[in-house]
Structure 1
Amino acid sequence: MNRTPYFVADVMSSPVVAVDEGAPFKEIAETMARWKVSALPVLDEERVVVGVVSAADLLPKEEFRDSVPSRMEQVHRLADLTKAGATTAAELMSSPAITVRGEAPLAQAARKMAVDRVKRLPVVDAAGRLQGVVSRSDLLKVFLRPDEDLAAEVRREVVHRLFPDAGETVRVRVDNGVVVLSGNLSDTRLVPLAERLVRAVAGVVDVQWRVSGDSRTRAGQPPGAEEPQTPPS
């Protein structure tokens, strides 16, 4: 079923600003301020993403600038104390980088962000080279599709394929991303499958079924035929 493709590459931001492993602390801070970003991919000599440096990685430098860490902080905040003394991107970055491929579906990127608790992901090619960056807000772009486009795709890719004999008896309406299917079917056994397929259409918020029909129709039995009676024992 050829639904409209919505992959990471469709919504990512590109080109994207990045820094090299040897970028000094001040250059990182200046780059974040200039481009109004809170995180930067870190690249090696081959332009492969090897890590990500964020504003949170820079903050320990200020936090511990004029204070002596307590023994408790030395034990429980060793990573932050290490970053407080760091001077380059390679020393500051989180590594290995959590990345996603451009051909990955949006759902995969969303799951990665949720599981790894990150707000954005560098997008890389098969060799790990930077292609772009995808953020949480980028993933929501799919829900900006017009209702008319959603309705046309649901009719074409779901209703007409699963219920080719339904004609105009199944009507499709979309309101703010919510798909409403109404009408009558002679056989409703495929409704659960149809619902899953409609929900898989990029940009669909919810599905409501108002379709009536006969759910007892079996292979080889015409709609409306009576069920065979079990003889009394």
Structure 2
Amino acid sequence: MNGTPLVVNDVMTRRVVALRTGAAFKDIVRTMREWHVGALPVLDDGGQVVGVVSEADLLPKEEYSEADLDSAGWSRHPADVLKADAVTAGELMTAPALTVTPDTALAHAARLMARKHVKRLPVAGPDGTLRGIVSRSDLLKVFLREDADIADDVRREVVVRLFGTHADTVRVEVHDGVVTLTGRVYTTALVPLATRLARAVPGVVDVRCALSGPPRRPDLSPDLPDPQRPAPA
């Protein structure tokens, strides 16, 4: 890791099947079946991503067949009805394509998928050409990191950076991706930040923080009078 957050380029699938805009309906269905995918990127003649065809784009062909189509269908779902007559990828695709770049952070890609309700995103380079595809399962690969690797990152990128020369007083343990921080630190003001930063380390499932401040100094002479207080009468 070397302190570098994981990005899409670290987990994306580079071998990707794509369609040209002129791909025929049956060829699209056949390709999805052969590759066991529910969506395919669509490229123009220059190899740039211009759209995505998904199973949802194909279903109107069956749902709004001419025999079953009525005026209610036209009024309620005009875009789907039009797709029922489409026969090529260029006509069927959802455009413009929702894409990410290879250097997109995994957290951003995950948020984008969740907000747009998609299962995969084409990965496009600066020139718009297809570089790969990233799916929900790709994003979950980060949670397969070894516990030892996660512990090394937490110690180096969180504990050492925050507590410096006092880092040796902090113990880092990781089990099934759950990080446990124990020990004493010179100031408890940094404890919430340590928890937050540890949680951001790729592969961390949860953080349990039991860090405490320095021990209180004992009162070595409890029976000696306080010179600042007047003696009792």
TM-score normalised per structure 1: 0.88
**Aligned residue in 1 for 2:103:** 103
- 1:187-202 pair list within 5 angstroms: 187-202=187-202
Which moves more between the two structures, 192-201 or 144-153?
Answer: 192-201
- Counterpart contact for 1:143–1:203, Cα < 8 Å: yes
Name 2:161's counterpart in structure 1. 161
Contact 2:159 2:167 in 1 (8 A): no
How far apart are 1:127 and its partner, in Å?
1.1
Q: What residue number does 1:152 align with?
A: 152
TM superposition shift of 1:136: 0.6
- Report if aligned partners of 2:180, 2:207 keep a CA contact under 8 Å in 1: yes
Deviation digits for residues 100-132 of structure 1 (CA, Å, limit 9, x no counterpart): 001010001011101111111000001111011
Contact 1:4 1:202 in 2 (8 A): no
State the 1:65 CA deviation: 3.1
Q: Structure 1 167/68 Cα, relative in aligned 2: closer, same or farther at 3 Å?
A: closer
Within a 5 Å distance, the mapping from 1:1-233 to structure 2 comes to 2-65=2-65, 67-214=67-214
- Give the aligned residue type for 1:42: V
Amino acid in structure 2 at the alignment position of 1:184: R
State the Cα deviation string for residues 143-178 of structure 1 (Å, max 9, x = none): 110111111111112112211222532100011111
How far has the Cα of 1:190 moved from its partner?
1.5
Q: AA paired with 1:135?
A: S
- CA distance in structure 2 between the aligned counterparts of 1:9 and 1:186, rounded to whole angstroms: 39
Coordinate RMSD, CA, aligned: 1.8
Compute the displacement of 1:5 (Å).
3.4
**What whole-Å deviation, never above 9, does each CA across 1:61-99 have from its counterpart, x for those lacking one?**
122335231211110111111111001101000000100
CA distance in 1, matches of 2:36, 2:157: 41
When residues 208 and 85 of structure 1 are mapped into structure 2, their CA distance, relative to the original with a 3 A threshold, is same
Q: Which amino acid aligns with 2:21?
A: E
Q: Is the 8 A contact 2:83 2:91 kept in 1?
A: yes
Give the count of matched residue pairs: 217
The whole-number CA distance in structure 2 between the counterparts of 1:211 and 1:123 is: 41
Q: Which runs of 5+ in 1 are unaligned?
A: 216-222, 225-233
Q: Does the CA-based 8 Å contact 2:184-2:214 persist in structure 1? A: no
Distance in 2 separating the partners of 1:56 and 1:154: 42
Aligned equivalents of 1:83, 1:118: Cα separation in 2? 19
Task: Output the CA distance in 1 between the equivalents of 2:22 and 2:167.
Answer: 64
Identity %: 56
Contact 2:5 2:201 (C-alpha < 8 Å) held by counterparts: no
Higher mean C-alpha deviation, range 129-138 or range 163-172:
163-172
Bigger CA drift: 32-41 or 164-173? Answer: 164-173
Q: CA deviation at 1:2?
A: 5.0
Bigger Rg, structure 1 or 2: 2
The letter for the 1-side match of 2:42 is V
Distance 1:57 1:176 in 2: 40
Alpha-carbon distance in structure 2 between the residues aligned to 1:176 and 1:4: 22
